[in-house]
């Protein structure tokens, strides 16, 4: 009995498998094509898709992106190569560590006071401008509950970001150098640079805070955590890589500025500063004076190369810190 049932099921299966083949044969006899299977239709659809205008435009955009990357890298390499080739003859350990000398600026000695002065100015600008920028970003992201106040502050920040840097130098000259009677000093020049980099740092930190998942913050509040505790344990650790990146990029931005230093603290000859009230040499101002003088172009190219290397190291540090913090946050 069981053998008869198995034979019956086997015959039905064979008839069911043969039915589609018979149907296909009948359709071909009458000049009709049988329907394709899902895999065949999907494959033919993919073949048709490769020749669509969307695919062609995607290839064009991809080639455009690759060409843009190659052009940017080529410009950067050419820039470094040209500056290094023009100033390689004067770049040495003595050029980096000695003070300038000679009757004309750049004719003898090195740029050590300018390097130290640029570091002093950058540190002063980050303290005076970076910390208030961090506080402002925290307030606008987590504490400000009035849209009108937030809109007014954003308008002021955008206006401050679009102000020419020499305006900050004139303000610092009139208010600090002359008004307070401090004179040309690291503090006056650092204050001008702090005003310049304040919106630069604030906008980047605020954007980093806004990218924190809202569900994570809302869940912390739902568990009864205070706002200060959430900021200290979640928001700031989550964004610390972006905060450090904003500070370092702001410092690089301040280190390359020349106009704010002309009236506030930069001078042609000065030893390394010992306090915030001393006048100071700076790499961008020293470079500007060498180019304006026109007699020490080799030293000018050497100074430009040193400045570019310092800024490149700062950007590499930003990339490294951001990568490490992102990796640590993803693993935690």
More confident residue, 109 or 245: 245
Helix axis angle for 147-161 and 186-210, nearest 10°, is 130
Helices 283-293, 112-125: crossing angle, 10 deg rounding: 130
Question: Given a cut of 70, is residue 179 above it in pLDDT?
Answer: yes
| pLDDT recorded at residue 39 | 46
In this prediction, residue 14 carries a pLDDT of 47
| Alpha-carbon gap, residue 89 to 70, rounded angstroms | 29
The 3-state secondary structure of 143-160 reads HCCCHHHHHHHHHHHHHH
pLDDT tens digits, 209-244 = 988 888 888 888 888 888 888 888 888 888 888 888
Write down the pTM of the prediction.
0.76
Q: Bridge-partner residues for 31, per DSSP?
A: none
Strands 100-101 and 108-109: antiparallel
Task: Tell me what the mean pLDDT of segment 267-282 comes to.
Answer: 88
Q: With contact defined as beta carbons under 8 Å apart, do 244 and 329 qualify?
A: no
Mean pLDDT, rounded, of the chain: 81
For residue 42, is pLDDT > 60?
A: no
The structure tokens listed for 10 are 């086997």
Q: Using the predicted structure, report yes or no on whether residue 3 has a pLDDT greater than 50.
A: no
Please name which of 280, 332, 287 lies closest in space to residue 307, comparing C-alpha atoms.
Answer: 287
The string of pLDDT tens digits covering residues 88-107 is 888 888 888 888 877 777 66
Report whether pLDDT(25) > 60: no
72-90 pLDDT tens trace? 999 988 988 888 888 888 8
Domain covering 89-331: architecture: Orthogonal Bundle (1.10)
Indicate if the pLDDT at residue 249 is higher than 50.
yes
Model confidence at 16, pLDDT cuts 50, 70, 90, reads: very low
Give per-residue pLDDT as tens, 136-172: 999 999 888 888 898 999 999 999 888 898 999 999 9
> Going along the chain, which residue ranges are E strands?
100-101, 108-109
Which of 86, 145, 113 lies closest to 269 in space, CA to CA?
Answer: 113
With 60 as the cut, is the pLDDT of residue 31 above it? no
Kindly tell me if the per-residue pLDDT of 282 is higher than 50.
Answer: yes
When mean pLDDT is compared over 1-10, 80-89, 105-114, 121-130, the highest value belongs to 121-130
pLDDT of 98 reads 86
pLDDT reported for residue 118 = 92
Length of the chain: 332
Q: Which pLDDT score is estimated for 322?
A: 73
Rounded CA separation 89/86 (Å): 8
Domains in the chain: boundaries: 89-331
Of the candidates 126, 128, 127, 133, the residue with the CA atom closest to the CA atom of residue 161:
133
* DSSP H or E run through 69: helix 53-87
181 CB-near residues (< 8 Å, 6+ apart): none
Q: Residue 39 is encoded by which pair of tokens?
A: 């895999």
When pLDDT is cut at 50, 70 and 90, the band that residue 8 belongs to is very low
pLDDT score, position 13: 47
How many separate helices (H) and strands (E) can be counted in the chain?
Answer: 14, 2
Angstrom distances, CA of residue 240 to CA of 27, 60, 136, 325: 69, 38, 16, 7
Task: Tell me, letter by letter, the H, E, C secondary structure of 300-315.
Answer: HHHHHHHHHHHHHHHH
In the chain, % of residues over pLDDT 90: 25
DSSP assignment of 249-318 equals HHHHHHHT--GGGTTTTB-SS----SSTTS-B--HHHHHHHHHHH-S-HHHHHHHHHHHHHHHHHHHHHH
């Amino acid at each position: 009995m069981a053998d008869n049932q198995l034979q019956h099921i086997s015959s039905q299966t064979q008839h069911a498998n043969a039915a589609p083949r018979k149907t296909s044969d009948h359709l071909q006899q009458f000049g009709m094509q049988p329907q394709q299977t899902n895999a065949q239709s999907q494959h033919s659809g993919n073949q048709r898709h490769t020749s669509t205008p969307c695919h062609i435009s995607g290839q064009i955009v991809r080639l455009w992106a690759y060409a843009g990357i190659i052009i940017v890298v080529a410009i950067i390499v050419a820039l470094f190569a040209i500056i290094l080739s023009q100033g390689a003859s004067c770049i040495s350990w003595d050029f980096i560590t000695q003070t300038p000398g000679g009757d004309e600026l750049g004719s003898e000695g090195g740029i050590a006071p300018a390097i130290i002065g640029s570091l002093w100015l950058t540190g002063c600008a980050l303290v005076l401008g970076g910390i208030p920028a961090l506080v402002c970003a925290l307030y606008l992201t987590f504490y400000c509950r009035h849209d009108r106040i937030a809109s007014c502050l954003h308008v002021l920040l955008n206006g401050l970001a679009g102000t020419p840097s020499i305006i900050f130098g004139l303000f610092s000259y009139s208010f600090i150098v002359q008004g307070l009677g401090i004179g040309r000093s690291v503090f006056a020049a650092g204050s001008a640079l702090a005003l310049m980099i304040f919106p630069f740092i604030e906008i980047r930190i605020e954007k980093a805070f806004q990218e924190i998942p809202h569900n994570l913050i809302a869940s912390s509040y739902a568990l009864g955590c205070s706002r200060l505790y959430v900021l200290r344990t979640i928001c700031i650790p989550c964004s610390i890589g972006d905060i450090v990146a904003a500070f370092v990029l702001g410092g690089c931005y301040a280190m390359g500025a020349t106009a704010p230093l002309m009236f506030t603290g930069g001078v042609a000859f000065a030893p390394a500063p010992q306090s915030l009230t001393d006048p100071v040499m700076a790499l961008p101002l020293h470079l500007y004076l060498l180019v304006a003088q026109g007699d020490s172009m080799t030293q000018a190219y050497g100074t430009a190369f040193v400045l570019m290397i310092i800024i490149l190291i700062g950007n590499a540090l930003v990339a490294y810190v951001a990568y490490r913090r992102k990796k640590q946050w993803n693993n935690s």
